[in-house]
DNA sequence: ATTTGATCATAA
DNA sequence: TTATGATCAAAT
């Protein structure tokens, strides 16, 4: 089921382009929910299943043997992202010696298969179309920007400045809550170096950054 | 509680 | 109108 090579994965992904969610879901015998309110991960899971990703919630890349992460990204009629993109949870403790090179962010974004999907809410979920896939690796410039933001944001975390963190920090990467709700907790470090219960945070890519990825693909062709 | 998959919905 | 902060579901 799982593709053996990058070429095979890409070929499969290309073959899905143009299908609607209901067409693909029918092939896979998966029911289509009315909307995404209570099924926010449905589109991502649908594409994972279709492409043979090792489903489940393991902390690894979707196609570990290929070193590729799969991301669906909702876009509007002009192909621009409608949402930010979750990358990974931010480690709030045990960060001594963690560098950009060894970070989860860098490793997650080494190679990403982006699949744009129609995301405008006026289109019924079942009728939304799957777009043409883009296999992306960060350019030197893109990685530099990511690294700069990551280092700035990690400084807030390691220095115990969690209360000063908000989504406005970071040019292309931001930190935002990532949990079941605002009462979710995880362990963090306060300004005195003490372990505290705090809101789990995740790294997200700003829309401008992912728009660039999708847009640059246009010029490569 | 934490990881995966993300989008929702209200404040600004 | 849009970005920030909040939230939803499944698997582990």
pLDDT tens readout for residues A93-113: 988 888 999 999 999 999 999
Q: Predicted confidence band at A23 (pLDDT cuts at 50, 70, 90)?
A: very high
Distance of A154 CA from C11 C1′ (whole Å): 29
> Are A132 and A14 spatial neighbours (Cβ–Cβ below 8 Å)?
yes
Q: Of the CATH numbers 3.40.50.80, 3.40.600.10, 3.30.1330.60, 3.40.50.970, which one belongs to the domain with range A6-220?
A: 3.40.600.10
Distance of A20 CA from C7 C1′ (whole Å): 27
pLDDT at A161 over 90: yes
Position A57 scores a pLDDT of 67
The angle at the Cα of A152, spanning A166 to A212, to the nearest 5 degrees, equals 80
Distance of A125 CA from C6 C1′ (whole Å): 23
User: Rounded distance, CA A11 to CA A8, Å?
Assistant: 5
Q: Which nucleotide is nearest to A62 (CA to C1')?
A: B4
pLDDT at A39 over 70: yes
Higher pLDDT, A97 or A205: A205
- Going from N- to C-terminal start, the domains of chain A cover 6-220
Complete DSSP assignment for chain A:
---SSHHHHHHHHHHHTT-BHHHHHHHTT-PPPS-STT-TTHHHHHHHHHHT---S--SS-TBTTTTBEEEEEEE-TTS-BSS-EEEEEPP-S--TT--STT-HHHHHTSSEEEEEEE--TTS-GGGPBB---EEE---HHHHHHHHHHHHHHHHHHHTT-GGG--TTS-SSEEEEE-SSSTT--EEEE-TTS-EEEE--EEEEE-HHHHHHHHHHHHHH-
How many residues comprise chain A?
221
Higher pLDDT, A139 or A57: A139
Higher pLDDT, A90 or A218: A90
Provide the Cα torsion A199, A202, A208, A209; round to 10°.
160
User: Rounded distance, CA A118 to CA A77, Å?
Assistant: 7
Q: Which residue is nearest to nucleotide B5 (CA to C1')?
A: A41
User: Rounded distance, CA A1 to CA A172, Å?
Assistant: 35
Lowest mean pLDDT among A10-19, A59-68, A203-212: A59-68
pLDDT tens column, A175-203: 999 999 998 999 999 999 999 999 999 99
Q: Which nucleotide is nearest to A184 (CA to C1')?
A: B1
pLDDT at A30 over 60: yes
Q: Predicted confidence band at A55 (pLDDT cuts at 50, 70, 90)?
A: low
pLDDT at A221 over 60: no
Q: Which residue is nearest to nucleotide C4 (CA to C1')?
A: A167
pLDDT tens column, A103-159: 999 999 999 999 999 999 999 999 999 999 999 999 999 999 999 999 999 999 999
Cβ within 8 Å of residue A159, ≥6 positions away: A191
Q: What's the pTM value of the predicted model, to 2 decimals?
A: 0.95
> What is the share, in percent, of chain A residues with pLDDT greater than 70?
98
Average pLDDT, chain A: 93
């Amino acid at each position: 089921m799982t593709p053996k090579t990058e070429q095979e994965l890409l070929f499969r992904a290309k073959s899905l382009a143009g299908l609607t969610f209901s067409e693909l879901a029918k092939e896979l015998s998966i029911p289509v929910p009315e909307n995404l309110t209570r099924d926010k991960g449905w589109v991502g899971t649908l594409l994972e299943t279709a492409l043979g990703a090792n489903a489940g919630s393991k902390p690894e890349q979707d196609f570990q043997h290929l070193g590729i992460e799969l991301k669906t990204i909702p876009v509007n009629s002009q192909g621009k992202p409608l949402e930010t993109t979750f990358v990974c949870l931010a480690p709030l403790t045990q960060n001594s010696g963690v560098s950009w090179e060894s970070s989860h962010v860098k490793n997650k974004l080494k190679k990403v298969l982006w699949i744009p999907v129609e995301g405008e809410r006026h289109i019924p979920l079942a009728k939304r179309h799957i777009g043409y896939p883009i296999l992306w690796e960060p350019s030197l410039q893109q990685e530099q920007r990511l690294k700069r933001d990551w280092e700035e944001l990690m400084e807030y975390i390691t220095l115990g400045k969690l209360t000063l963190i908000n989504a406005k920090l970071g040019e292309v990467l931001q930190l935002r809550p990532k949990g079941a709700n605002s009462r979710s907790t995880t362990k963090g470090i306060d300004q005195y170096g003490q372990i505290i219960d705090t809101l789990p945070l995740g790294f997200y890519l700003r829309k401008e950054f992912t728009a660039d990825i999708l847009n640059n693909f246009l010029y490569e062709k």
